[in-house]
Structure 1
Amino acid sequence: MRVVNPKDYYHPQDRKALRELQQIPGFSAVLKAFMKAFSENMIQGMNMSNKVRITDRQLPELYRLLPPLCETLGIAEPEFYLELNPVANAYTMGDSIISITVTSGLIELMDEKQLTAVIAHECGHIACRHVLYHTMADVVLGAGSAVLGGNLLTAGLQLAFFHWQRCSELSCDRAAAICMDGYETVAEVMALLASGSAELAKRIDMDLYMEQAEEYRDFMNDSGWNKMLQYYALMSQSHPFLSVRALEVREWCGSDLFKSIMDYKYERGSRLVTRKGLCPGCGRETMEEWEFCRYCGHRLRGKEQS
C-alpha cells in the first residue's frame, strides 16, 4: 500500500484561508510573539503529568489503531494520550514533538471504526502541517493578550484564525476518508457528534441526514441574508458545522480525484493523477490531464500548437 501525498487531498479553501491569514497586517508580529512565549516543554509536561500515554504496552487496543494510519499518510508516529474529559474530543498539538490526545468521552461514545476515523483526521493535521498554527491558534485565541503581552491580536486576526481553522478541518476530513476508504464512517462520526448518543446514532438514517445537509446548503444559498446570519453564527467557531462537513466529504469522495487516490493507494495505478488546480469557470477541482472541465466544460488548457 502506497503513501498518499497531502497535496492531493489538501482542500483549496484550506490553502486559500492560510494565505489570507498570513497576509493580514500584524500576523508576523503575532507569530513572533507566540514563538517567543511558546514552549513545547510545557505541553509535553502537561501530557505526561495529567494524561495516560497510549503505547503498544499501555492500552494496546487503542494504540494499534494509530500505526496503519501513520503509514497511509506518511507521517512519523506522534505521541498518543488519553485525557479524562466527558466531552467527546480529539486534538493535536506541538511542533517538533507532536501529540494526539483523545478524551475518555470520545472513547465511550464511538465504536472502533468511528474512533479510527477520528484519529485519522488528527493524523491528517500532521500530514498537512497544520499543527504549529493550530497550536498557536488554540493558545492565542484562548488567552489572547495574556500570551502575547500586548494588543497584537486584532479582531480581524482572530476571525482569520477561526476561518483558517475551519477550512483546515475539511482537508483532514478528506484524509480520514482516504484512510477509511470512503466517506461513510466520517459522515457517521458527524451524525454521532450531532446526536451525542451512541444508542441514538445507531438509529439515525444516514440518507436522511445527508438530505438534511443538502437542505441546509439550499437554505444558505437561498438568500444573502441567510448566508450572513449563518456566518455570524459560525465566525467564532474553530470547526465547520457537522452536516456541512459530512456533505463536503461525501461529494469529494464521488470525485475522480478521490478514485485516483484510492487506485494509487492500493497500487491499482502506476501513478497518482494530481490536481491541476481550480476551474476558472465553476471553481471546482480539476485534474492535470483534463483539457476541459468535466463539470462545466470550461477550457483548462490552450489548443496544442501544430
Structure 2
Amino acid sequence: MTGVALDNVEPYINISPKAYEHPADRAATAALRSIPMLETLVRKLIEWRYERALRQFYLGTSLKVSEEQVPELWSSHRAAIRILDLPETYDLYLTTPVPGMAVTIGSRKPIIVVDSAVLKRLGAGEQRAILGHELGHVLSDHVLYITALNILLAAGGSLPMLLGLPFRAVKTVLLEWYRAAELSCDRAATLVVRDPQIVCRMLMVAASGLPAEELNLDAFMAQAMQYENWDDPSDRVRRFFWEINVTHPYAVRRVSEVMRWVQSGEYDRILRGDYRTRDQEADVRAEASDAMEFYAERFRSTFRDIGENVTSLGSQMGSAADQLAGWLRNRGGRGDSDS
C-alpha cells in the first residue's frame, strides 16, 4: 500500500497546525511561549552562527536530494510541501545515522535530514509519511524549540541556570513538549498520505528496525492496544520515568494516538475541508491556562500513583516540575507584553 497518489491530493489551503494539533502539544507550546528568556537564548545562539554551522555540516557530510539526486524522493517532498500549503521549498538531505529516523533543523530556513538506512526499509508510502511528519514540524513552527532542546542536550548538566531559568526544569519541559510535538506531526503525516495505516506502518518499522514488507501491521496494532490497556499503577510510574528523558514517545503509543485521533472524527472533518486556517487568531490566554492545567494534571496523576514510594529520581523530577510551574505561575499575571 502506498496511499493516495500525492499528485491527486488537493492541498489543505492555508491550514493552521491548530487544526490537527495534539492537545498535549498545544499545552506544552503555550507553556514554552510564556518563557520569553528561553527564546532569547536560542535566538542569541543562532546569531552566533550555530544554525549556519549545522547547515554547513550537513552540506559537507550528507547527500543533498534534488531533481537530479534521488528524484523520486524529491518529487514526494515537493508534493508533501504542496499538500500542507507551505510557503517555500526546504532543503532535503540523506545521511546515516539520524536519531529518530529524521530531523528538522534551522529556525530561519529549515532543512530536513532523513536517515538513508531507515529509508531503505520503507515503502514509498512510508517514505512520504516521514516527509509529511517533518514538514509538520515546519508548519507548526516547532523548529526554534527543537534547536533549544538540541543545545540543552549537548550542554548536559554543565549549565545549572540559563538566563535565570533552572536548567533541569527547562530541559524536562522541553522534552515533554517535544514528545507532544511528535504526536502532532504524526497527524500531519496522516493528512499528507491520507492513510493512517501507512503512518502506523512507518512507526512499526521505527520500533523494529526491519523492512515494512516483513512485518504484520495487525499484530503491531494489537500490541499497541495491549500496551495502552495495561493498568497497573506501578507500571505507569515506571513508564513515566522511562519516557521523561527521551525525545520521542514510544512507537506503540504513537500508533494508538494516531488511531484514536482518526476514530474521533477529526481526521475526516479536515479531509472534508472543515479546518482552522492560519489567519484565524489564537486565544493566547486560554491556551496558557490550558497549559497550566495540563501540566498540573500530568504530574499530579503520576505522583499520585507513586504514593509513598517516591524514588530519588522521582523527587528530582518532581522538584524540577515544581520549579518551572512556580516560575510560570509567578509570571502569569504579567499579561502578553513579555511573550
Instruction: Give TM class, smaller chain.
Output: 0.7 to 0.9
Tell me if the contact between 2:269 and 2:275 (Cα under 8 Å) persists in the aligned partners. Answer: yes
Question: Relative to structure 1, is the Cα distance of residues 216 and 135 closer, same or farther in structure 2, using a 3 angstrom cutoff?
Answer: same
| Aligned Cα root-mean-square deviation (Å) | 2.8
What residue identity is the alignment partner of 1:249? V
Q: Which has the higher contact order (CA 8 A, sep 6+)?
A: 2
C-alpha separation in 2, matches of 1:260 and 1:8 = 10
Aligned residue-pair number: 266
Establish whether residue 74 from structure 1 lines up as the match of residue 82 from structure 2.
no
Shift of 1:186: 0.5
Partner of 2:114: 102
Counterpart Cα distance in 2 of 1:57 and 1:160: 42
Corresponding residue for residue 266 of structure 2:
257
The one-letter code sitting in structure 1 at the alignment partner of 2:45 is A
Contact persistence 2:98–2:114 (CA under 8 A): no
Partner of 1:162: 175
- The corresponding residue for 1:215 is 226
Aligned residue number for residue 285 of structure 1: none
CA distance in structure 1 between the partners assigned to 2:166 and 2:189 by the alignment:
32
Alpha-carbon separation, structure 2, partners of 1:86 and 1:123: 16
CA offsets per residue over residues 246-299 of structure 1, 9 Å max, x none? 1110121223221121122xxxxxxx1559999x9xxxxxxxxxxxxxxxxxxx
Match of 1:138 among 137, 144, 150: 150
Cα separation, 1, equivalents of 2:253 and 2:206: 13
- Alignment pair present for 1:31 and 2:39: yes
**Alignment match of 1:89 (pick from 64, 85, 101):** 101
Which one of 238, 244, 248 corresponds to residue 247 of structure 2?
Answer: 238
The Cα offsets for residues 195-214 of structure 1, whole Å up to 9 and x where unpaired, read as 1111xx43433222112111
- Quick check: 2:98–2:113 contact (8 Å CA) kept in 1? no
Aligned to 1:82, what secondary structure does the other structure show? strand
In 1, distance between residues paired with 2:98 and 2:148? 25
SS at match of 2:272: helix
Give 2:20's match in structure 1, choosing from 4, 9, 13. Answer: 9
Please tell me whether the aligned partners of residues 186 and 258 of structure 2 are also in contact (alpha carbons under 8 angstroms): yes
1:229 maps to amino acid = R
SS state of the match for residue 96, structure 1?
Answer: coil
Contact 1:86 1:105 in 2 (8 A): no
What is the rounded CA distance, in whole Å, between the counterparts of 2:93 and 2:189 in structure 1? 19
Counterpart of 2:299?
none
Identity, in percent, stands at 25
2:91 touches 2:110 (CA, 8 Å); kept in 1?
A: yes
Q: Does 1:123 align with 2:151?
A: no
Change (3 A) 1:254 1:88: same
Q: Which TM-score applies when normalising by structure 2?
A: 0.72
Q: Does 1:202 align with 2:213?
A: yes
Q: Which has the higher helix share?
A: 2
Deviations 1:166-210 (A, max 9, x none): 000011000000111121010001111111111xx4343322211
CA distance in 1, matches of 2:210, 2:253: 20
CA distance in 1, matches of 2:64, 2:41: 30
Aligned to 1:45: 56
Q: 3-state SS of the aligned residue for 1:81?
A: strand
Kindly provide the amino acid, as one letter, of the partner of residue 199 in structure 2. V
Q: Which runs of 5+ in 1 are unaligned?
A: 265-271, 281-306
Cα distance in 2 for partners of 1:169, 1:19 equals 16
d(CA) in 1 for partners of 2:219 and 2:64? 39
Letter of the structure 2 residue corresponding to residue 188 of structure 1: R
Cα distance in 2 for partners of 1:130, 1:150 equals 20
| Residue type at the aligned position of 1:235 | I
The one-letter code sitting in structure 1 at the alignment partner of 2:66 is: T
Distance in structure 2 (CA, Å) of the matches to 1:115 and 1:236: 27
Amino acid in the other structure paired with 2:169: G
Q: Distance in 1 between matches of 2:16 and 2:109?
A: 22
Q: What TM-score comes out, normalization by structure 1 length? A: 0.79
- Further displaced range: 158-167 or 244-253: 244-253
2:146 partner letter: H
CA distance in 2, matches of 1:145, 1:227: 27
Match of 1:301 in 2: none
Gaps of at least 5 residues in structure 2 are 1-9, 291-339
